[in-house]
Amino acid sequence: MPILNNLNNIQEENTSNFTIEIEYPEINERELVKHLMKDYYQFTRPVKNYSSMLTVTIMPQIYNLVEVNEQNEQIKLLIWFPQSWKDDYLVWDPDEWDGIEKITIPKSMVWLPDGYIFNTVEETDTLDNHNVRVHYNGKVEVDFNKLIDLICPMSVLSFPFDVQLCALQFGSWTYQSHALSFNVLEASVNENNKNSEWDIVAFNATKKVSKYMNLIGGDNVYEEIFYFLEVRRKPLYYIVVILIPTFLIVTVSNIGLFTPHGVHGDREEHVSLGLTTMLTMAVILDMVTGQMPKSSEGIPLLGMYVLIEFALSIMAVLVSVLIIFAHERMLYMDAMPPFWIFRLFSKHKNQIPLAEMEYDDLRSSPVDLAQELRFCIEKVRKHLEDLDSKDKNELIWQRFFSCADIICGSCFFFVNCIITFYMFIEYF
């Protein structure tokens, strides 16, 4: 009996010391993600009803205009592309999960829309590890950050005062309009966007439905969004580096072509000056054409201006050479200036060449024969001395051709100013 009592006491003590521990599941983000991903399949649309249309909201923002390549007709953009949609399989009750309303998980774990920019030459994701934000009601948000090269046909007829309009064509690559639709919010441009050569004028969106023929005799219908980017060139660089120097070079050249190089009206080095000017114009024209695409639309405004200035320089050289040739021929042939030139450029206005003397001038002399004879001899002698004076003829010719230089130089100067004013007045 004592032994039995001892056994009962030991059993009662062991029973009183024994406790049962129940383990409850942890309530945290990790367990929530494991719960959501348990039966999740990211390769199909996240809708429970197949006939339901999935709506994707997009709101692109241009962060920076990186480069505009006129020769290849391409534009490079750094663009943010936020997108959001509802995933029917990523829904939970925050009250059951310790108030968790939003989680962040890698994008590879969930379904993503296959939106694509169709007219890209190259597209690069600047972030390798993207995450998505998932809300308790199934709303999913993801921010794509892309560096894209777009095809942008350019019209450069008004270069360097041109405005380019580039279209960015966006849409789903595989899902048709009955399966996936886009809710387009207003596109925007980052306030910190800076580019040394271009300004972004506008960035607008238009949605349309497009049909494409498939290979089985039907049509595939897709929703597409066209974003139109309007950019304007900053012309200051081309004005300072090309336009103003071209105008000044041609102006100074024309003045030099029609300005004597000595006090006696010598015209040495005029042809060399003209050839140097034309060579300079050719270099400037090469600078302009080197930056422009090879287009069949026509010659850019600045290129046309340089060509016109080039032609004006050629005409000025030809006129200058013609004046030099005529002047040299008159001196070489000892040609006597015509009467009208003699009257305009001679200091002795009352003297006229012998050939122009009228018989009445001789008859107006005194009646006395001896006095009349002396008067005629003296008058003829003076005229012969004047007309035989080579220096006097050269002086008259020099005055005449100097006046021609002044008139031609003034004409070319005013023509140059009028051309420049007419071509660029609407851009200032």
Containing structural domain, residue 42: 29-234
pLDDT digits (tens, 9 = 90+) for 202-216: 999 999 998 888 888
> Is 80 exceeded by the pLDDT of residue 367?
no
| Domain contains 163 | yes
Burial class of residue 411, CB neighbours in 10 A (0-12, 13-18, 19+): middle
One domain, residues 196 and 310? no
Q: Tell whether 45 and 129 lie within a shared domain.
A: yes
Burial 30-53 (b: 16+ CB within 10 A, else e): eebbeebeeeeeeeebbbeeeeee
CA dist 226 → 17, 78, 119 (Å): 76, 17, 11
For residue 267, pLDDT over 60 is answered with: no
**What is the structure's pLDDT at 46?**
94
Residues 190, 330: Cα–Cα separation, whole Å: 73
Both 100 and 144 in one domain: the answer is yes
Return mean pLDDT, the chain. Answer: 81
Across residues 236-260, what is the average pLDDT? 86
pLDDT at 270: 64
Q: Considering 234, 261, 294, which residue would you say is the last residue of a domain?
A: 234
Residue 89's pLDDT band (cuts 50, 70, 90): very high
The CATH number of whichever domain residue 407 belongs to comes to 1.20.58.390
Which one of 184, 212, 234 terminates a domain? 234
169 CB neighbour count, 10 Å cutoff: 17
Nearest Cα neighbor of 306 from 326, 277, 330 is: 277
- The pLDDT of 73-93, averaged and rounded, is 93
Q: Are residues 216 and 112 in the same domain?
A: yes
Is 230 a domain residue?
yes
In a domain, 44, yes or no: yes
What's the domain count of the chain? 2
The verdict on pTM exceeding 0.85 is no
pLDDT score at 387 = 54
Query: Model confidence at 360, in pLDDT bands (50, 70, 90)?
Result: very low
Residues 174 and 127 in one domain: yes
Nearest-5° angle of CA 115, CA 121, CA 127? Answer: 60
Whether residue 187 is found in the same domain as residue 60: yes
Q: Which two tokens stand for residue 165?
A: 């309009």
C-alpha span between 96 and 100 (Å, rounded): 9
Of residues 284 and 226, the one with the higher pLDDT is: 226
Q: In CATH, what number is assigned to the domain containing residue 86?
A: 2.70.170.10
User: Quick one: 94 and 121 in the same domain?
Assistant: yes
Same domain, 206 and 241: no
Together in a domain, 261 and 394:
yes
Which is more confident, 261 or 93?
93
Higher pLDDT, 370 or 3: 370
